[in-house]
Structure formats: C-alpha cells, structure tokens
A and B are shown apart, each in its own frame.
Chain A
Amino acid sequence: MQEYEAFVRFRKGEPLQHVGSVRAPDPESALEAAYHIFLRLDTFERLWVVDRRFIAEMIPDAEWDRRRIQETEFRRPSFYVRKLAAAGYTPPKLSTG
C-alpha cells in the first residue's frame, strides 16, 4: 500500500486544489478511492492522484518570508508607484484583466 495525494480541478480554468490523500496499492485504485471519498457530491473537471514519494516540498518560515518581501521589493510595481507618487506623478493603473 502507498499514500497518494489527491488534487481536483472543480471547474475548467480553475487551479488544481489539494483535497486530501488516500492509501491504495496502485494509481488506478488510488483514483477510484479518491473519486469515491472526495467527489461524492461535486461535479469536477479533473482528478489527479500523485504518489506521495514523488512530491518534493518546501516550507518557508517567518524569517524567510520577511527576507523574501524585503529582497524582492524592487520587483513589485508598488515600489515604483510609490516613488512616482513621491515625485508628484500619479501613474495610471495598468489594467491586466
């Protein structure tokens, strides 16, 4: 038996969402189990199961977060918007929608 993490895309175009995990002897059985456990009610677009051994993870701590925000300040539009505002220039909003 092996642990599989289950991910669902509920509607087309949405991101995959982690919904939980199942234990199963093989990927096909894991799909079957995940379908019956997590998707009894909802319609969905895609279900994935991934053998947990193939998942690599990274867990940032608060210090890492703090430094990340500090070190990447120059990559944020707001950094330049503030500078422009301080110089008396109101920049337009860049619509990306």
Chain B
Amino acid sequence: MMGEPVHRLPPSMEDVDGFVAYIQAGGKVEAGDWMPEEYKNEVIKIASFQAILEVVPMPLFRRWLYMAPTLWRRRPLLGKIQDEVGHCHITARMLEDLGKSREELFSDYLEGRIHLNYPFKFPVDSWGELPAFLLLTNSAAVVQFRSLAHGSYLPYCRVMKKIMREESFHFYHALQLCHELVTEGTPRQRAQVQEGLAKWWHIAIYQFGPPEHLTKGRDWRKWRVKVDENETLRQQWISMLYPIVRSLGVEPDPNLERDPDTGEWRYSPLDWDRFFHLIRQRTPLEEWYVEEFKRSYENDQWALKALKELPLAA
C-alpha cells in the first residue's frame, strides 16, 4: 500500500471545476458522492440507453425459444433471456439511486425519448440466422461494456463487470451454435448461418454509433463515464470478430483491409445519413416490441399493485 492517492474523494458541494479536474485526473465516483447535475445526467443517459436495450428486444428471443429445434438449445436461450432481463434490473436499480424511476425509464422509451440501438431494429428470419445475429451483436456489446467498465462512475463499472460474465456465456453459446450448423448442419442451415454472418456484419458494425464529430451536443470526454471513441471500439470489434467470421467460412466485406502502418481497419463506407434517419424511426419489428412491452406492462399491473400494497417489514 504505497503512496496516498492524489484525489481520494471527489470535491464537495458545488465545486464543478474541481469535480471535472478530479475526473480528468482519473478520479472515480462512488454511489452517494456529490456530483454535478450534468454528470449525473450523463450517467443516466448512457445507462438508460443500455437498460432499454437489455429488455425491449426480448420478445424476439421468446419467439425463437418456441422454435428451437431441441430442448438442449432452448435452455441456453431461456438462460439468455433471464440474464438480459436481469441486466435491465440491475441497471434500473442503479438508475433509481440516481433518481430515475423504472416508470420514467420505460415511458422514455415508449414515448420516443430513448431510441433502440440500430441493429435491434431488424428481424432475424431463420434459426441459422439467429446465432449469427447473436454472435455479432453480443460481441459488440462485450466490446462496449468492457470499455464502459473503466468509466468514472463506479456503481456502473460494477454493473458492467457483472453483465460481462454472462455476456461471455451468450457469446460462446452463439459461436458454438454457428460452428455446429456450419460443420454438421444441412446445406440449408449452413447457408443460413453464413448468409446471416454476412448480413449482420453490416448491421452490427453500426452498433457502436457514429463517429463523435457527426453528433453535436454533449461533452462526453469531460465526464469520462464513457471513455473510448465509438470508432476505437468499432476497430477493436473488427479485430476480434473478423478472424472468427472468416473461420466460419465468410468473407464479410470485400473492402475490409488492415492498414499496414497504423493497424487500423478500413472497411466499406457506412451510411450515417441512413443511420440517423432510421434510428429515430420505429421499424415494424420495433412496433411489435412496443406492443408487446405495453401489453406485458398492463398485464403485470396487478403484481406491481400487490407489491406496493404489501406492508413493509419492521
């Protein structure tokens, strides 16, 4: 235990400049520490986006649950649904401590103040396409989460660490299912996986969002809740996933090549205009998510009501 940390606690009340200096020097914030409103809103914004993404697309997996060809394959899907809902739960709990209720979180989505991340707006059409979709989107999530785990708000870093352990199961399950269908499946299944990988490569690559210079507004570098640029994460994801996708017999992007000097991947141009256009819209799949979400929310009101009416112990 050598040396005293330079900044042990964030500066106290109303010293926003001191707080920013503390964060910029690598300082971390614990639950209950004083924080400026703008910082709190940054955490809320990032965590709300993720919490919604954990729960809203679940009807998609529920549908595949019933179409899984064996109980052996149904079980990990069920495990995944349980995990994702759990991820929403722990993130929502953290948000409640920051003053944002679950009702607000859900109404933010239903009323269009939070948008679903791009890849989750598109459907999965076959059993073989499902693991391709899972492999590419799960790995993208892992890349994002492991970066967020180094952010400045410690309760959120803990959420990320807990989540990543389970995402690792989802990732290897998806990879193993892809591999099995490619090597032992029927020619049709093999084609479904490989076409799925090629299709979802070009969708999942948008999961990291646009380069920051295309979006104006919030100064994310100031607060270090998010620490890496979107493009940095996209590059990490390509480095990780490209060899895997190739090993499954797919060359996803004819223009993909690594710059020999910088090590940066170059890829087919991304259509950010289309991205910005679509991200604010609801696709037919998303309309279905919203319907399902509202329906469960209304169906479950009796349980919420009963919980609220329970007398508190002691």
Contact = CB atoms under 8 A, between A and B. Distances in A.
Chain B interface, DSSP helix/strand/loop, else mixed: helix
B176 A83 contact: yes
B169 A45 contact: no
A56 to B, nearest CB: 10
Interface stretch (A20-28, A30-38, A57-65, A89-97): A89-97
A95 B233 CA distance: 13
Interface in B230-252: 240, 243-244, 247
A81 to B, nearest CB: 6
Given A46-B30, A75-B79, A77-B168, A94 B157 contact: no
Contacts of A80: 169, 172-173, 175-176
- Most B CB within 10 A of own CB, among A53, A74, A83, A94: A94
B172 A94 contact: yes
Nearest to A53: B314
The interface size bin for chain A is: 20 to 34
Contacts of B30: 9, 12, 45-46
Given A80-B176, A87-B183, A96-B142, 4 more contacts: A46-B30, A77-B169, A84-B176, A97-B146
28 contacts: A13-B28, A45-B8, A53-B314, A54-B314, A75-B79, A77-B168, A77-B171, A80-B169, A80-B172, A80-B176, A83-B176, A83-B180, A84-B175, A84-B176, A87-B180, A91-B172, A91-B244, A92-B244, A94-B168, A94-B171, A94-B240, A95-B146, A96-B142, A96-B146, A96-B164, A96-B165, A96-B167, A97-B146
Interface of A: 9, 11-13, 43, 45-46, 53-54, 74-77, 79-81, 83-84, 87, 89, 91-92, 94-97
